């Protein structure tokens, strides 16, 4: 989830998120050295690579990977992490670090469920592109065709929603805040989330700038429901989760239904920066950030997303047509996918968690990082920093 100014205000005004509904950036990527490519579009190598289950990294390499993870955890006081690295033809490495719960000191385990926050956006945009492939929508369609009432809706195209150039502002308005403060556990519907942008002033004219907002993706969620005539969760399950074999990935808006073993999310609080557990209300995020997943499912999704097997090749290639975006600082941001140093994927942050899921099209390599800390000092994104350090380790090893 991106930390837009409106959502930072949410964090200040309600206890539901402790010190942050959102941190300094939901998806923070910057250039990394190491296993990098020429910037070609994702999926150029065809189908996903199979796991390198019969191979193992050397002890020296695994030691360097552990050191990379632990250095970030130490610097930013990250309680726990689950990390996986898969390099076809060379090996794989997965490891749990630290604790899932500071109070009980329960350790992180590799089978735990983690909120993946804005990585959800990559799923939602994939659903939209599937509808494009089927001729049910066109990326040149204007938003008002499906959802009336959004300022400039007769000019905003579905492509502009997907690539963050619509000009739509964040959805947190006074009515949203009043409802949240009256009942922090209220399960928001997608209609309620999108209500905040109806008639609201635009940030800029459609197509003139690129500004990352959660509203863009939640509006896409509404378009998906309108076109299919089914709830977003049902469409997601039938079109992505089941076909891709993501049995442990769930769209959860009612936190009471998050029953799988999972970590507690933390963020610094107060002047001394002591870590404080963050209350969870994933319904605040909707199709922009309410998915939870596991490390193994993250591996599978990185391959599925990066290779484009759920889309026609031409449609998938469109995703890599990226542009610079002010925040989060990917090298480029395309159509529901970010790219940094030749890696394609998405990051997420908010409510005490950060996540990174990336695929390297030339090698078929995958890096997945889940951590139970958001709002880190200096606006850092611990999962992203770990991802970049791992690419450096792999690059230095010649992979």
Which structure tokens are listed for 369?
């990082």
Q: Where does the pLDDT of residue 382 fall: very low under 50, low under 70, confident under 90, or very high at 90 and above?
A: very high
pLDDT in tens, 198-252: 999 999 999 999 999 999 999 999 999 999 999 999 999 999 999 999 999 999 9
For Cα atoms 299, 302, 307, give the angle at the middle one, nearest 5 degrees.
130
Q: Where does the pLDDT of residue 49 fall: very low under 50, low under 70, confident under 90, or very high at 90 and above?
A: very low
- As a whole number of Å, the end-to-end CA separation of the chain is 31
Q: Of 64-68, 90-94, 222-226, 330-334, which gets the smallest average pLDDT?
A: 330-334
**Which stretches within the chain are classed as H helix?**
5-13, 59-76, 119-133, 158-162, 174-182, 190-195, 214-228, 232-236, 295-307, 313-319, 382-396
Per the confidence metrics, is the pTM higher than 0.75? yes
Q: Where does the pLDDT of residue 331 fall: very low under 50, low under 70, confident under 90, or very high at 90 and above?
A: confident
242 Cβ contact list (under 8 Å, min separation 6)? none
Question: Phi-psi bin for 265: left (phi > 0), alpha (psi -120 to 50), beta?
Answer: beta
Residue 272 above 90 pLDDT?
A: no
Which structure tokens are listed for 281?
């209300």
pLDDT in tens, 337-360: 999 889 999 999 999 999 999 999
- 91: which strand partners? 87
Strands (E), 272-364: 274-277, 291-293, 332-333, 338-340, 343-350, 353-360
**The predicted structure's pLDDT at residue 121:** 98
71-87 per-residue burial string, b: 16 or more CB within 10 A, e: under 16: ebbeebebbbbbbbbbb
Q: How far apart are CA 163 and CA 321, in angstroms?
A: 9
- 275: which strand partners? 268
The most distant pair of C-alpha atoms in the chain lies apart, rounded to whole Å, by: 59
Residue 271 above 90 pLDDT?
A: no
Q: How far apart are CA 48 and CA 365, in angstroms?
A: 10
Which structure tokens are listed for 279?
């209350």
- 86: which strand partners? 92, 366
72 or 271, greater pLDDT: 72
For Cα atoms 323, 373, 84, give the angle at the middle one, nearest 5 degrees.
70
**The predicted structure's pLDDT at residue 30:** 25
Q: How far apart are CA 277 and CA 291, in angstroms?
A: 19
Q: Are the CB atoms for 374 and 267 separated by under 8 Å?
A: yes
183 Cβ contact list (under 8 Å, min separation 6)? none
Q: Where does the pLDDT of residue 180 fall: very low under 50, low under 70, confident under 90, or very high at 90 and above?
A: confident
**The predicted structure's pLDDT at residue 41:** 40
Residue for token pair 């863009």: 216
**The predicted structure's pLDDT at residue 84:** 98
Residue 398: C-alpha distances to residues 121, 234, 280, 356 (Å): 32, 43, 41, 23
Q: What is the mean pLDDT of the chain?
A: 87
Cα-to-chain-centroid distance, residue 93? 22
**The predicted structure's pLDDT at residue 329:** 61
Q: Which sequence spans correspond to the domains of the chain?
A: 5-396
**The predicted structure's pLDDT at residue 17:** 27
Residue 323 above 80 pLDDT?
A: yes
| Mean pLDDT value across residues 59-85 | 98
Residue for token pair 């509904």: 21
| Mean pLDDT value across residues 310-329 | 89
Query: Can you list the pairs that 134-139 forms with residues at least 24 positions away whose Cβ atoms lie under 8 Å?
Result: 136/227, 137/223, 137/227, 139/318
| Mean pLDDT value across residues 67-88 | 98
Residue 24 above 70 pLDDT?
A: no
pLDDT in tens, 27-48: 222 222 222 233 334 443 443 4
**5-396 in CATH: which number?**
3.40.710.10
**The predicted structure's pLDDT at residue 46:** 40
| Mean pLDDT value across residues 74-98 | 97
Residue 140 above 70 pLDDT?
A: yes
Half-sphere exposure of residue 345, counting CA atoms within 13 Å on the CB side? 33
Q: Where does the pLDDT of residue 54 fall: very low under 50, low under 70, confident under 90, or very high at 90 and above?
A: low
- 115: which strand partners? 292
Q: Where does the pLDDT of residue 173 fall: very low under 50, low under 70, confident under 90, or very high at 90 and above?
A: confident
């Amino acid at each position: 989830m991106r930390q837009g100014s409106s959502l930072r205000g949410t964090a200040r005004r309600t206890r539901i998120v402790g010190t942050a509904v959102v941190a300094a950036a939901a998806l923070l990527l910057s250039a990394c050295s190491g296993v990098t490519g020429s910037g070609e579009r994702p999926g150029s190598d065809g189908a996903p690579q199979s796991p390198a289950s019969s191979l193992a990294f050397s002890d020296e390499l695994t030691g360097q990977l552990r050191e990379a993870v632990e250095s970030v955890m130490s610097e930013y006081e990250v309680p726990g992490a689950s990390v996986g690295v898969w390099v076809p033809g060379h090996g794989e490495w997965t490891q749990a670090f630290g604790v899932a719960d500071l109070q009980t000191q329960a350790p992180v385990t590799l089978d735990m469920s983690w909120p993946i926050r804005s990585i959800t956006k990559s799923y939602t945009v994939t659903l939209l592109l599937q509808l494009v492939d089927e001729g049910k929508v066109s990326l040149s369609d204007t938003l008002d065709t499906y959802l009336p009432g959004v300022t400039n809706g007769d000019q905003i195209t579905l492509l502009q929603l997907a690539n963050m150039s619509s000009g739509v502002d964040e959805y947190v308005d006074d009515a949203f805040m009043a409802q949240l403060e009256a009942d922090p556990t209220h399960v928001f519907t997608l209609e309620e989330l999108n209500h905040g942008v109806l008639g609201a002033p635009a940030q800029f004219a459609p197509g003139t700038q690129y500004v990352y907002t959660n509203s863009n993706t939640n509006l896409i969620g509404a378009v998906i429901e309108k076109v299919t005539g089914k709830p977003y969760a049902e469409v997601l399950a039938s079109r992505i989760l089941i076909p891709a074999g993501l049995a442990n990935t769930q769209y959860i808006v009612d936190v009471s239904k998050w029953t799988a073993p999972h970590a507690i999310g933390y963020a610094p609080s107060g002047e001394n920066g002591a870590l404080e557990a963050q209350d969870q209300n994933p319904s605040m995020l909707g199709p922009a950030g309410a998915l939870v997943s596991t490390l193994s499912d993250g591996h599978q999704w990185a391959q599925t997303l990066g290779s484009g097997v759920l889309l026609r090749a031409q449609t998938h290639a469109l995703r890599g047509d990226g542009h610079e975006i002010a925040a989060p600082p990917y090298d480029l941001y395309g159509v529901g996918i970010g790219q940094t140093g030749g890696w394609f994927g998405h990051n997420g942050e908010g409510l005490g968690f950060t996540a990174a899921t990336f695929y390297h099209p030339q090698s078929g390599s995958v890096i997945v990082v889940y951590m139970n800390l958001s709002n880190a000092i200096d606006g850092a994104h611990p999962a992203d920093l770990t991802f970049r350090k791992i690419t450096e380790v792999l690059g230095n090893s010649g992979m």
